[in-house]
Each structure stands twice: as structure tokens, then as C-alpha cells.
Amino acid sequence: MQTTAVASRAALDTLDASFSGRLLTDPADTAPFCTDWIKRWSGQALAVAQPDTVDDIAAIVRWCAANKVPIVPQGGNTGMVGGAVPGPDGRALVLSTKRLRTVRAVDPVNNTLTVEAGVTLVEVQQAALKAGRLFPLSLGAEGSCTIGGNLATNAGGVGVLRYGNARELCLGVEVVTAEGQVWNGLRGLRKDNTGYDLRDLFIGSEGTLGIITAATLKMYPLPAARMTALATVASPHAALRLLELAQQRLAASLTAFELMSEFCMDLAAHHFPACRKPLDTPSPWYVLLESSDPISEEHARDSFDRLMEEAMESGLISDAAVATSLAQSEAFWNIRHHLPDAQTREGDSIKHDISVPISVIGDFIVATNAALEAASPGIRMVVFGHLGDGNLHYNVSPAPGGSGPAFRAQQEMFNEIVYEAVRRANGSISAEHGIGQLKRDQLPHFKSDIEMALMARLKAAFDPQNIMNPGRVLR
């Protein structure tokens, strides 16, 4: 692409006239859109477009295609891999979906709802609740992330164990293609074998193939009751045995199973006083588990209490707090959801969002912790995650006061140790956050040449001018 930022600026007036909504060009206005949530990537935008409708988006994309201007789609800008912010050269247009906020349809009989891309995840959950249904995708950033971003990253979160990733919750999408055409694939069908599944290509493509402008999503019955507990376990191995027991006793009612190390709990309490530990017994590891019972409050409590008693009697857990109110349950979840923020407030963090087969996760943590601590004495491991999905946030913080370039320079060494262990375990270097900028150059080392070549051909077919989030996912 040869177009310069200067040439594109001259044409910005024609862009402004081509759509309703706002076009921000003053660097003071565009700056908030140019730095990511963890403040690791900062760039510059040619402009930030905030369109109101899908037709506006199509007009903007056509303008970008004609002027060869790269587009960086952005939803809530809560992504963890630097995919939603522009690069430093100031050539790209940030296309924010935040003004596409309509809930277009709710169909409680089909158990579906259709929402526009900029609706936040919490608002999607609320729209389902209003219809007496559950939209089960849930994650710490749900107040600000958008459903478009959730689908573009195939987000995971804390309900995957029972309901699956964002992909499993989406029946249809509407997309503006890289040529500025609108594809309406908003089908609410649970069965539809009519050729290649284009919906599944756009989901998880991180804005590199097209812009998701709306989606038809699945709703579920609301559970009759929920039970939440925070329990102490001696090791990740014990947590795994507890997971097995909980799955046997609660079956599909087990909806969340999260692991947190003691250091994570301490970090949350230190940076957020409301996140004080509800248990006095010291423990190296904690599990936050939740059941969603379809039958009744009484049934929920009986089966959950029986599970906790059995776990206590068999020595799998040494202490547990079972929430007796919604407020208490929310307080437990509050601790879990504040971990990313707590680690950021503590200073630098090097993140690894990995998955391995659940069966090997205990050995993985013991061996890889030892290797990292030997390679860089004093580091503090921040290990937590969605144990029920085999997905760990296997993050590294420096020794107290050790944030800075010297720590950050060790990133490659940490990555090598962690990703080599992931490779040996037949795991993935990105379980739920995606590839973005952060892992783009690692990807070819973890995919076969055939996979990389097929992905490159797909990209070329969908986005022949390479204007859709260029340089993300693929080089």
C-alpha cells in the first residue's frame, strides 16, 4: 500500500460527508482510541470514525478501499493482544462500533436475540434477562467490551465450561466486507448445512476479514438457582480432583470452575480493599466454583452442600465459604474479576493466555513455575484462570519494585520457556485472547506450513487490498 497519511488527510472531508455519526481528527480526541487497555501499545490514527448504522460502516469501508487506508476496527478496546489500536505511523482509520447500539430483535420462542455490534456484553445479558432468558457469555470486562469485539475475538470467559465460547453462542452474523458490501447472515437457525460456514470464519478473525456489524445470539433458560463457593485447595492437582468430583456430582449444573493462586488473592486484596479474602485459613491455591441449577433453590443447595461436604471429608478442600446471598456471590466474583486490574496496578506484567489438556495442568504449573523461577529469581508468578477449560492466565510479575525495561527485556526468555512447555503438552499459545500484535510472530512456530498458507489465502480472498486490520494475526 503506497498511500501516505498526508494524501489520505486531503480526502478526509469526502469521508466525513459520506456517513452519519462522528469523525474525530484532532489528536486530543483520537488519543483515547489509540492506547490499549493494558497500556502496552500506543499508536496514532489518521482519524476515528464513529458511524451510526451499518450503511455508514459500508460507506466508510468503501472510502477506505478507494483511498487504500487501513482500517482498525474497535469495540470496547478491552482486548489483551493489541489488536484494536492503530500502529505508530498514523495511517490507519480507527472504526469504532460504539454507536451501533440497537437491540434489533428478541425472540423468546426461538431463544435468540439480534443485537448490533456496539452493544456491550452487559447490555446483551440484560436484554436476554428482560425476556426471561440467559445470555451466558460473561467476563470481567463485560461492562465495556462489545458483542462485536467478543465475536471478533471468540471470547471465552467464566461460563465456557457449560455454554462454550462466543462462537458456540452465535447463530448468525451481519458483516461489512473489505469491499464495503453488507452481508446479511443473521440466521437464527440451529441447523444449516448449506456450504462453507462464513459465519465461523468471521468469528475469531480479529477484524482482519471484515467488520461484524450485528449478530443473532442464542439465549438459554434462566437457572432456578445459583450456588457459589470459594474453597481452599493444597495444589493445582487437588483442584483438578475437585473438578472431577464436581463434574460427577453436578454434571451440567457446574457452570464455572476458576483457579487462583494465593498471590493472586493477595494482589486483589492489596489493590482493592473490597476484595478482601473471605477465608482465614491460609492456602496456596483457591478455587471459585459455581453451579446453576435448573430445578429449584432447595435442589441447588442440597446438591452443592453434598459436594462440598464430600470434598471436605475426602481432604480435597480444607476450608470453604459458600455464598448465602447474591451479594456474597458477587463479592467472590469481584475478587476474581479484579485480578487483571490488580496485576496491572502492581506494575509490569508479561501475559501468557495458554491452554493445555486439563489432565496435565497440575504438572505443567509445577514444572514451568520452577523453570521460570530458576531463569529469573525473584519473579512473582500470577497464575489464575479457567481451570475447567484447561485455560490458564500464566502471567509473570517482577520482584517488588522491579518493573521497567530490564524486566520487560526478559519477555522473550519467559515466552520461550512457557511456550516450549505448551508445545510439549500439545497446548495452545492463545486460549481466548487471540493473536493480535502480541503473538503474531509466534504463530508460524505453532501452526503447520499448510495452516499458515491456507490462512494467508483466506485473508487474500476476503481482503485483497489488505486494508482490514493489516499486520494483525498474520504478518
223 lies in the site for ligand FAD, by CB under 6 A: no
Nearer to ligand FAD, 136 or 311 (CB): 136
79 lies in the site for ligand FAD, by CB under 6 A: yes
Q: Which does 162 bind (CB under 5 to 8 A by kind): ligand 2HG, ligand FAD, none?
A: none
Smallest distance, ligand FAD to C-beta of residue 79, A: 3
Smallest distance, ligand FAD to C-beta of residue 130, A: 22
Residues 6 or more apart whose Cβ sits within 8 Å of residue 115: 102, 103, 104, 123, 124, 127, 147, 214, 215, 217
Q: Which does 422 bind (CB under 5 to 8 A by kind): ligand 2HG, ligand FAD, none?
A: none
Nearest of 203, 399, 212, 224 to residue 302 by alpha carbon: 224
The string of DSSP codes covering 90-157 is: S-PEEEE-TT---EEEEETTTTEEEEETTSBHHHHHHHHHHTTEE-----TTTTT-BHHHHHHTT---
Contact of 95 with 211, CB cutoff 8 Å: yes
Task: Give me the residues that bind ligand 2HG (CB under 6 A), please.
Answer: 140, 339-340, 351, 393, 395
Residue appearing with cell numbers 456471590: 329
Smallest distance, ligand FAD to C-beta of residue 470, A: 11
292 lies in the site for ligand FAD, by CB under 6 A: no
87 lies in the site for ligand FAD, by CB under 6 A: no
Smallest distance, ligand 2HG to C-beta of residue 386, A: 7
77 lies in the site for ligand FAD, by CB under 6 A: yes
Q: Which does 117 bind (CB under 5 to 8 A by kind): ligand 2HG, ligand FAD, none?
A: ligand FAD
Q: Which one of 147-155, 179-187, 222-230, 396-404 is the stretch in contact with ligand FAD (CB under 6 A)?
A: 147-155
Contact of 400 with 280, CB cutoff 8 Å: no
Q: Which one of 77-85, 184-192, 273-281, 361-369 is the stretch in contact with ligand FAD (CB under 6 A)?
A: 77-85
Distance CA 405, CA 426 (A): 32
Specify the 3-state DSSP secondary structure of 179: coil
Specify the 3-state DSSP secondary structure of 404: coil
Contact of 348 with 252, CB cutoff 8 Å: no
Quote the strand ranges of 245-299, DSSP E: 254-261, 285-293
Distance CA 443, CA 431 (A): 13
How would you class 327 by CB atoms within 10 Å of its CB: exposed for 0-12, middle for 13-18, buried for 19 or more?
Answer: exposed
How would you class 4 by CB atoms within 10 Å of its CB: exposed for 0-12, middle for 13-18, buried for 19 or more?
Answer: exposed
Q: Which does 398 bind (CB under 5 to 8 A by kind): ligand 2HG, ligand FAD, none?
A: none
Q: Which one of 41-49, 106-114, 155-163, 301-309 is the stretch in contact with ligand FAD (CB under 6 A)?
A: 155-163
170 lies in the site for ligand FAD, by CB under 6 A: no
Q: Which does 437 bind (CB under 5 to 8 A by kind): ligand FAD, ligand 2HG, none?
A: none
Distance CA 116, CA 148 (A): 8
361 lies in the site for ligand FAD, by CB under 6 A: no
Give the phi and the psi of residue 21 in degrees, each rounded to 5: 110, -160
161 lies in the site for ligand FAD, by CB under 6 A: no
459 lies in the site for ligand FAD, by CB under 6 A: no
Q: Which does 379 bind (CB under 5 to 8 A by kind): ligand FAD, ligand 2HG, none?
A: none
Q: Which does 44 bind (CB under 5 to 8 A by kind): ligand 2HG, ligand FAD, none?
A: none
Give the phi and the psi of residue 323 in degrees, each rounded to 5: -65, 135
Q: Which does 77 bind (CB under 5 to 8 A by kind): ligand 2HG, ligand FAD, none?
A: ligand FAD
Smallest distance, ligand 2HG to C-beta of residue 346, A: 12
Q: Which does 395 bind (CB under 5 to 8 A by kind): ligand FAD, ligand 2HG, none?
A: ligand 2HG
Binding stretches for ligand FAD (CB under 6 A): 37, 72-80, 83-84, 97, 117, 139-141, 145-146, 148-150, 152-153, 155-157, 206-207, 211-212, 340, 432-433, 436, 469, 472
